[in-house]
Structure 1
């Protein structure tokens, strides 16, 4: 590791949930000079990092910004991730997820950066769960198609690359601006509201802090290739809701089982994904929190955010 000369790490999508956690964790380490970027003004708390406003869908802007910075590492987390909006606004989605990745890869090649790309379980069909890194991709929605196409660009690039695939990322943004399954279940049950939760969609839910830690391990170890970075527990959404209700001592009778066919959404969801994380454990030393432990972490963060 370089200690006197810190490695410059450039993060896209830094205002998002994962971006926030990455910046927070990287700033806490001595080895990195952190340059966070996002569209528009900085919405990150704290200090110890630089911030650059960057529209990653603008090829010239990307080229100029990264030519000036010449980062050793690029962590590309910026993307259009709302699955239904991707289905309804395909041009925007392609621009954000495929074109932007192409521009960043080109800049990474120029700077000889280690390019770390965050991808998704939605590149898979969902016919079988607990997938390893060699599973065959077959997306069932447009978001998944764009992420797969971006992955293919990364794999063909002429610089050192890694892909961190993840699943159902949850966590708390510093401004409580985002919801997730745990917050939704908790607030619904606290207000005595009945909820319908699908019992036929299975995932390995991932705490945002764990995904950030996995991406940083890839950077620190200068690892290359594809890594599954997710939580360790293979659960249905219904099971996640029950565990959440139990943790907070809320009424489970308000949780009704449903199946995916009862919900009409613009984008189809894969039924069973979830990852086998053996490779990340063995090669990176990645050790994510259980879903139960993660709820405990969120519970503390909720109290802190409100105090």
Structure 2
């Protein structure tokens, strides 16, 4: 008998090693991407193109309208001018630093695609989508400003960092990214650069690109461990802060309707509602990305 013959003494061929079944694509990512795209479309359609939507958002914008066109002075407006490009450049450099290593090259490329894609999409939308001048009493202040370019820079940078770092660093990166994005959104509103819908749309654009590229990301070994209690706690707190802030902002917006801004002064609660609706989407975005990345790690462990 040929010693190299793989057959057993009874002449039967050995059973082929069982193959691990191919992992199916997780539909949650497609659902998240569709939700982000739908959010941008709904925000533009409902709040920019309709008379009711413009009136509704003007309830909040009227509280900061006197800042429109005023030269930015003070620490906050200077920070909101410098912080977004600085963070975007920093995130881009971090992604570029991953390219020389074969182990991290893939995630670096994906992070760059998400960063560049989000900011390019925002600039295209700002110039392609019109803002109609309707006869509803809302003052005309130029063309379309949705999505916010400053907020997109920071939100895309926050998403890029989450795609790059190992899972043990995600809680710190998530808190920092959410805080920076929320600050930018709130400051852009208070300086009358943007309406709250502009910030929400910017966050949705950044989220869209992040969830489009993230499923192609291969995790480092450190990213294959189970989520820690800290990661889950930060994730839950971000979801609570984001959804709670949006709910509170919506309630304050409803309360301002008792005194229409187009017929008089802005409601005293309008500025607080505007800040909440401008800042809260940042926490929702980062909470969503943490949930999806944790789900990805859990599926890889199985």
Q: Compute the TM-score of the two structures, normalised by the length of structure 2.
A: 0.26
Please state which structure has a larger fraction of its residues in strand.
1
Q: Which has the higher contact order (CA 8 A, sep 6+)?
A: 2
Please state which structure has a larger fraction of its residues in helix.
2
